[in-house]
Each structure stands twice: as C-alpha cells, then as structure tokens.
Structure 1
Amino acid sequence: MKKIKIEEDIIKLDSLLKLADFAQTGGHAKFMIQEGLVKVNGTVEYQRGKKIKPGDQVSVEGEVITVIR
C-alpha cells in the first residue's frame, strides 16, 4: 500500500493518479479511468474529476493508494 499526502482538503482522481506515478499524463489517467481500471473505496470509478479526500483508498490493478493529510 502506498500513502500519498495531500495539502488540500481534496484532490481530483486524475491528479492523484499522476501524483502517485500511476499515470504519466492527464490523458493516460483519463484512459485508465474510462477503461474501468480504477477503483475508489472498492467501487469502479469512471469520473476523472471525482473528488478524493484523506482516508479514501484508490486502487489500480491491485495496487492501493491511501490518501492522507
């Protein structure tokens, strides 16, 4: 499990994927999300602008990111 610290109250899902080095570009993040490869708190998420807050878990192909403050 990888922990990502954010300074703000929220971060958009596509930005989190780039910050965590799961996506190299915004376009790559968009593709991953649209293809159903990303789960937020165990549910497949298709909105790249989904607001992620501390305590949320995001998983990509079995790798889990936990967002902390």
Structure 2
Amino acid sequence: MIEFKLEGEFIPLISLLKATGLVQSGGEAQTVVEDGLVKYNGNVDYRKRLKVRIGDVVDFMGNQIKIV
C-alpha cells in the first residue's frame, strides 16, 4: 500500500496518479480513469476531476493508495 500525504484539502485523481508515479502523464491518467481501471473507495469511478481527500483509498493496477 502506498501512503500519500495530502498537502491541502484535496488532490484531483489524475494528479494523484501522476504524483505517485503510477502513470507517466496526465493524458495516460485520463485514459486509465476513462477506461474504468481506477477504483475509488472500492467502486470504479470515471470522474477525471474527482477530488480525493484524506481517508480515501484509490486502487489502480494492483496498487492501493491511501490518502493520509
């Protein structure tokens, strides 16, 4: 599990995927979200501009990111 320390109120989902190094670019992040490859708190979520906050868990390609 990756623990991501949030510096502020929220981080957009696409930015989170880039910041954790799970994707190489914003375009790649948008594509994986649109393709339904990302789970947000256990459910597939297609919102590219989703605001991820402390306590949320994001799953992508076998990697789990917990926001702390």
TM exceeds 0.5?
yes
- Pairing 1:32–2:54 present: no
Report the RMSD for the aligned CA atoms in angstroms. Answer: 0.6
Unpaired stretches in structure 2, ≥5 consecutive residues: none
TM-score, normalization by structure 1: 0.95
Q: Deviations over 1:24-46 (max 9, x none)?
A: 11000000101110000000010
Distance 1:9 1:24 in 2: 24
Unpaired stretches in structure 1, ≥5 consecutive residues: none
Q: CA deviation at 1:63?
A: 1.0
Distance 1:61 1:44 in 2: 12
Matched residue type, 2:45: E
How many equivalent residue pairs?
A: 68
Distance 1:24 1:65 in 2: 16
Q: Percent identity?
A: 40
Distance 1:19 1:6 in 2: 11
Distance 2:41 2:62 in 1: 13
Matched residue type, 2:46: Y
Matched residue type, 2:43: T
